A = this chain, B = another copy of it.
Amino acid sequence: MTTVQLIRGSLKDTRQLLKRCGSAPHFCGVVDVSVTSPKMSVKSEVNGKSYSTCPKCVTLDTMNPAVKVMEYAVRGPLVIRASEIEKELEQGVKKPFKEVLKANIGDCHAMGQVPITFIRQVLALVTLPELLDDPKYPEDVKSRARAILAGCRGGSVGSYTDSPGIEVIRRHVAEYIERRDGVPADWQNVILCAGASDGIKAVLKLLIASINNKPPGVLIPIPQYPLYTASLAEFSMTPIGYFLNEEKNWGLDIPELERSISEAKKYCFPRAIVIINPGNPTGQVLKRENIEAIIKFAHKEKLFIFADEVYQDNVYADGSKFFSFKKVLTEMGEPYSKMELASFLSVSKGYMGECGIRGGYTEVINLDPDVKAMLLKSISAMLCPTTLGQTTMDCVVNPPREGEPSYKHYKQEKDQILNSLKERAKLVADTFNSIEGMSCQPVQGAMYAFPKMELPPKAIAKAASLGQCPSVFYAFQLLENTGICIVPGAGFGQKPGTYHFRTTILPQTEKLKNMLNQFKEFHMKFLAEYK
């Protein structure tokens, strides 16, 4: 069994780990690689030659070690192989399937979801303003487009905007948050960004500072969305994994938070906690009491809260309801209502799924004003987020209202998408629960299922002989045999000795049914082969 599980280690350990795993290591279990010091001293010997005689300025030995240890499973080696297979199919190579189904990434339109007409019309009108005179377009589309263009210098989306975005759109975001939460929101706390990832990294970056000579640590859920481990690795920050409780539908147990932080304090200084709600890859929707307990924990431990709430519109299960961390924290009153928090939304998820457009916002509250000024300064060197991403965010937070001409069609499209996702969420969980050796928690929200598999010892041994985590081995076998591309549990982290995978619920219903049938068939064969 050569599968590697590194709970904590130095940069040297990590590099040795990379050597042992080859260039694309598959971490299994807790991905918790701590680069103990951001001081990155690299030897000047490259393949036995001194730096000056090495043919290249930059080699693996002389490049940024933080980039080397970074992993991003959602776009990792499995996805690269999936793209190769697609090309092979195009070239006529025979396979036991006709197409590759990318269930690895929350990419709605790629899976056949149709864009929301209202959003696309507003985008077309701001890019080609002569369409404002075309009677074909409804008045509410035109008024949205006009308001945005009025907020653009020179009346063109080709101008730079202020670095935190166009004022009128920031105001609309604040109004949206107020409607959602019933508590006040200040538009000057809203920073538009090129997707949530962009916003998360900008805030995370502020925390890169050791305290008491200990490197900064950030609590992240396990399983987690790999953006967090990737960004923490890039920033040489220490990830502190806390396990979600699979048996309690992936809820957060406070004793587990206590355990993880007290262990982490031995080697880092915990500064922040990330909560993903609704959960990715786990699909849970946190209950209000759970959120309150987390806030109390964060307050006691003096942690900055990162509320990754990009799936706030994706809540399906009866009895589940989305509560924002800001709402709960504010309604809890002091001292909690004074806590520092950043919350994120993206145009890539929800019912709109406009991933390629790259739009999002960050709301920051209770920041030290000097720190907020530094945050605004730090984003200014990247000039501004894309105006068309900002426009799309405007459509999301300021959609057609009842009585406006686009309302009916917009509501129809939105409801149809969300209802279909709700059906698919149930279909996916039910199907995996019906498969021998698999169990799947209900998909209360978001766009993913994260089933657990019991794998036969022979399969585990086979994976070990290949130096792979069994979840990775399984995913490669599935891909080669069925064309279905999922993400192995190792990419998100899982309790040692357990094996999972993440699949999206995004293929359209008929395709999804076919996929689930093929999946089941493959799984039975796999079990038989390794019995």
Contact = CB atoms under 8 A, between A and B. Distances in A.
Contact of A383 (B68, B195, B208): B195
Interface residues of A, number: 108
B40 A340 contact: no
Residue among A123, A160, A367 having the largest count of chain B Cβ atoms under 10 Å: A160
Nearest to A65: B209
A363 interface: no
B371 A56 contact: yes
Given A302-B52, A374-B63, A353 B158 contact: yes
A57 B302 contact: yes
A62 interface: yes
Interface stretch (A106-114, A404-412, A443-451): A106-114
A356 B37 CA distance: 38
Contacts of A194: 194, 358, 386
Interface string A10-46: 0000000000000100000000000001111110100
B353 A70 contact: no
Contacts of A44: 211-212
Nearest to A51: B211
A46 to B, nearest CB: 10
A381 B226 contact: yes
Copies of this chain present in the complex amount to 2
A379 B198 CA distance: 12
Contacts of A260: none
Contacts of A72: 377, 380-381
A529 to B, nearest CB: 32
A342 to B, nearest CB: 11
A355 B159 contact: yes
A414 to B, nearest CB: 15
A383 B371 contact: no
A384 B63 CA distance: 23
A59 B127 contact: no
A304 interface: yes
B209 A64 contact: yes
A302 B194 CA distance: 36
Contacts of A98: none
A55 B276 CA distance: 25
A368 B41 CA distance: 20
Given A60-B374, A386-B194, A381 B127 contact: no
Contacts of A332: none
A217 to B, nearest CB: 13
B383 A355 contact: yes
A157 B105 CA distance: 16
Contacts of A113: 154
A153 B352 CA distance: 16
Interface of A: 23, 37-42, 44, 51-52, 55-60, 62-68, 70, 72, 75, 83, 102, 105, 107-113, 115, 120-121, 123-124, 127-128, 131, 152-154, 156-163, 194-195, 197-198, 201, 205-213, 226-227, 230-231, 234, 271-272, 302-304, 338, 340, 348, 352-358, 366-368, 370-371, 373-374, 377-378, 380-389
8 contacts: A40-B208, A65-B209, A72-B381, A108-B159, A160-B348, A195-B382, A226-B381, A356-B384
